[in-house]
């Protein structure tokens, strides 16, 4: 996928999120570190241009919540900084694979408060789930073999927008 395809997907996802939620007044985006935040910010920009409402974007580092790494202490955790109680939180990530990253993000978000609901938006769903997690919004389904990799490059981090499949 190239820059134009990614832009079209972001635009479509933003419109789908608006439609499913009856607007964006009660939404908050939480981008999963690293590439989730720039994707969330792009979605928020599209929504602001369409709806005229600015959607807050936060980033979550899931490292302390992972089940496959040594637990690390929470640093600079300030739950009052995030006003998510009663809001619809849209978790945003670049690639959904096993579901373990999303599970960790869910644990982290719940430390911030009690949202009305949590939805999941991903740029790419490559399959091979190990947990019962399903995205609400998918940019593109790319079925892969277990030995294949999906690499997402985002302008804000990598200097270009593209998605590649490699073995």
CA atoms within a 13 Å half-sphere pointing along the CA-CB vector of 44: 22
CATH 3.40.50.2020 applies to domain 3-71+79-166: yes
Name the strand (E) or helix (H) holding 131: none
pLDDT of residue 67: 81
> pLDDT 10s per residue in the chain (167 long)?
999 999 999 999 999 999 999 999 999 999 999 999 999 999 999 999 999 999 999 999 999 998 876 655 555 445 545 689 999 999 999 999 999 999 999 999 999 899 999 999 999 999 999 999 999 999 999 999 999 999 999 999 999 999 999 98
Indicate the domain borders of the chain. 3-71+79-166
pLDDT of residue 73: 54
pLDDT of residue 38: 98
**Is the model's pTM score more than 0.85?**
yes
pLDDT of residue 68: 74
Write the secondary structure of 40-100 as one string of H (helix), E (strand) and C (coil). Answer: HHHHHHHHHHHHCCCCEEEEECCHHHCCCCCCCCCCCCCHHHCCCCCCEEEEEEEEECCCH
| Rounded CA separation 63/125 (Å) | 21
Q: Per the structure block, which two tokens stand in for 162?
A: 């593209």
Cα torsion 10, 22, 48, 107 to 10°: value is -70
CA atoms 46, 49, 51, 52: torsion sign: positive
Choose among 112, 94, 122, 10: nearest CA to 58.
112
């Amino acid at each position: 996928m190239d820059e134009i395809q990614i832009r079209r997907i972001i635009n479509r996802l933003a419109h789908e999120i608006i439609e499913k939620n009856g607007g964006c007044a009660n939404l908050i985006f939480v981008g999963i570190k690293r590439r989730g935040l720039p994707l969330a910010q792009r979605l928020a920009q599209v929504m602001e241009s369409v709806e005229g409402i600015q959607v807050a974007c936060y980033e979550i580092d899931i490292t302390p919540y992972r089940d496959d790494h040594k637990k690390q202490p929470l640093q600079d955790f300030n739950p009052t900084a995030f006003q998510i109680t009663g809001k619809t939180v849209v978790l945003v990530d670049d690639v959904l694979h096993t579901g373990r990253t999303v599970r960790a993000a869910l644990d982290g978000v719940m430390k911030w408060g009690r949202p009305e609901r949590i939805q999941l938006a991903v740029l790419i769903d490559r399959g091979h789930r190990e947990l019962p997690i399903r995205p609400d919004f998918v940019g593109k389904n790319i079925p892969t073999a277990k030995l294949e990799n999906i690499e997402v490059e985002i302008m804000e981090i990598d200097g270009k927008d593209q998605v590649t499949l490699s073995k």
